C-alpha cells in the first residue's frame, strides 16, 4: 500500500511540475544617456537576470538606481537591483533628471531560454 501512495505521489508531482528548465541564451549590456520608457524588455519564452543596473546624474557625484519597472511611475530608488529576475514581457525604463543628457545609465542582463 505504501508503494502505491508513493507511486501516486510521484505521478501527481510530475504532472503538476509547472516550471521549465533554463538554458543560457546571451549576455546583454545597454548604455545610454537619455530617458527611455523601455530600455530592455524580456522577449517571450525567456527570463532574464539583472546583473548590474546603475544610473548616474552628472549634477551629483553619486550613483543612483532610478529605473522604472513595468512602467511604474515611481522609480525603484536607491536599491540594489543586482540579482533581480524578470519574467517574459517585463520591462525596465529610465528616469531623467533636469536635462536628458545629465542622465547616464548602464544595464547588464543575462537572458535565459525557458525550456518546457
Residues of the chain scoring pLDDT < 50: none
pLDDT at 64: 57
pLDDT in tens, 9-18: 666 665 555 5
Cell reading at 64: 543612483
The set of residues, in sequence order, having a beta carbon less than 8 Å from that of 79 and lying 6+ positions away, is 65
pTM: 0.70
Q: Which residues pair with 93 in a beta bridge?
A: 68
pLDDT in tens, 92-110: 887 755 555 566 778 899 9
CA dist., res. 53 & res. 71, Å (int): 16
Question: Residues 78, 52: contact at Cβ < 8 Å?
Answer: no
CA dist., res. 96 & res. 29, Å (int): 19
Amino acid at each position: 500500500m505504501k508503494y502505491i501512495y508513493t507511486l501516486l505521489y510521484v505521478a501527481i508531482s510530475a504532472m503538476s511540475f509547472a516550471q521549465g528548465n533554463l538554458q543560457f541564451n546571451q549576455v546583454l549590456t545597454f548604455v545610454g544617456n537619455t530617458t527611455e520608457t523601455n530600455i530592455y524588455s524580456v522577449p517571450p519564452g525567456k527570463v532574464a537576470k539583472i546583473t548590474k543596473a546603475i544610473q548616474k546624474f552628472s549634477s551629483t557625484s553619486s550613483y543612483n538606481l532610478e529605473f522604472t519597472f513595468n512602467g511604474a511611475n515611481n522609480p525603484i530608488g536607491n536599491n540594489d537591483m543586482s540579482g533581480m529576475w524578470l519574467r517574459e514581457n517585463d520591462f525596465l525604463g529610465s528616469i531623467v533628471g533636469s536635462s536628458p543628457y545629465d542622465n547616464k545609465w548602464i544595464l547588464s542582463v543575462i537572458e535565459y531560454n525557458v525550456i518546457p
